[in-house]
């Protein structure tokens, strides 16, 4: 493997928010490779502060899919701040996401209160239905990386685990969808009950793995230019000179 291959995999990695085929199970060999990638993730103090719950039992997946949760007020309001309202705007901003991915009321500041009021609980199945396997990454909330306030270093480590698994999956042609909703209070409590996870273990995030039933509609992906986030030899000296 050469550098160009790595950059290609990094650039091709993307969030797949379409349904995955229930009839294409994940091979144990591929799952092992993804777990091997997690295994070698860098973590603060090499604490390896993660455990991975692999869920591919149809009955358990169904139970998890039946959990209902509602989108929080904080999410609806703060999500709004990240939206662009046209491809042109997103292309110019280069950060955030396109508003058309969300319900109309979520995109109109005058209707955000209404959106919050009317947001009713929906089953997780709407997002994970059909996915042949979920990986749920958990960590021990009683520990932290040495002297790390709020265990920031521990959370960065969990991010490294996420990225390692995501890039491995990408290289194997397996689609990935991150599900932060699993770390929300309601879902976390129910998932922990179903999977008999000890109280002190917290869910960091879940990953839905699979093969899409249909192509994901083309959507604009933007990133800032290197010059926009690089400061060379002093803050404000933008770019790599």
Q: Are 166 and 157 in contact (CB under 8 A)?
A: no
| Segment 164 to 183, residues that bind ligand FMN, using CB under 6 A | 177-181
152/118 Cα distance (integer angstroms): 35
Minimum separation from the CB atom of position 164 to ligand FMN (A): 13
**Which residue, 177 or 192, is less far from ligand FMN as judged by CB?**
177
Token readout for 136 is 């749920």
Token readout for 60 is 């358990």
> Residues 9, 17, 125, 195: which binds ligand FMN (CB under 6 A)?
17
- x-or-dash string of contact with ligand FMN, 182-221, rule CB under 6 A: ---------------------------------------x
Size of the site for ligand FMN (CB under 6 A): 10
Torsion angle, CA of 110/116/122/124, rounded to 10 degrees? 90
143/153 Cα distance (integer angstroms): 11
Residue, CB closest to ligand FMN = 180
113/148 Cα distance (integer angstroms): 37
| Segment 51 to 110, residues that bind ligand FMN, using CB under 6 A | 97
Q: Which residues bind ligand FMN (CB under 6 A)?
A: 14-15, 17, 97, 177-181, 221
């Amino acid at each position: 493997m050469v550098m160009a291959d790595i950059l290609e995999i990094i650039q091709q990695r993307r969030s797949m928010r379409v349904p995955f085929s229930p009839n294409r199970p994940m091979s144990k060999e591929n799952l092992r490779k993804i777990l091997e990638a997690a295994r070698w993730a860098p973590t603060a103090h090499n604490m390896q502060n993660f455990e991975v719950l692999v869920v591919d039992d149809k009955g358990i997946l169904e139970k998890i899919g039946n959990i209902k949760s509602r989108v929080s007020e904080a999410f609806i309001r703060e999500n709004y701040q990240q939206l662009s309202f046209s491809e042109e705007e997103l292309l110019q901003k280069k950060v955030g996401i396109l508003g058309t991915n969300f319900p109309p009321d979520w995109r109109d500041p005058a209707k955000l209160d209404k959106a919050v009021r009317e947001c009713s609980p929906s089953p997780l199945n709407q997002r994970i239905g059909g996915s042949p396997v979920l990986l749920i990454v958990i960590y021990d909330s009683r520990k932290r990386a040495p002297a790390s306030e709020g265990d920031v270093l521990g959370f960065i480590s969990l991010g490294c685990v996420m990225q390692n698994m995501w890039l491995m999956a990408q290289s194997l042609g397996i689609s990935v969808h991150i599900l932060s909703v699993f770390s929300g209070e309601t879902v976390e409590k129910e998932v922990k009950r179903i999977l008999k996870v000890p109280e002190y273990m917290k869910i960091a995030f879940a990953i839905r793995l699979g093969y899409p039933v249909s192509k994901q509609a083309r959507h604009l992906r933007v990133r800032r230019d290197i010059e926009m986030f690089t400061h060379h030899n002093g803050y404000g000296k933008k770019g790599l000179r």
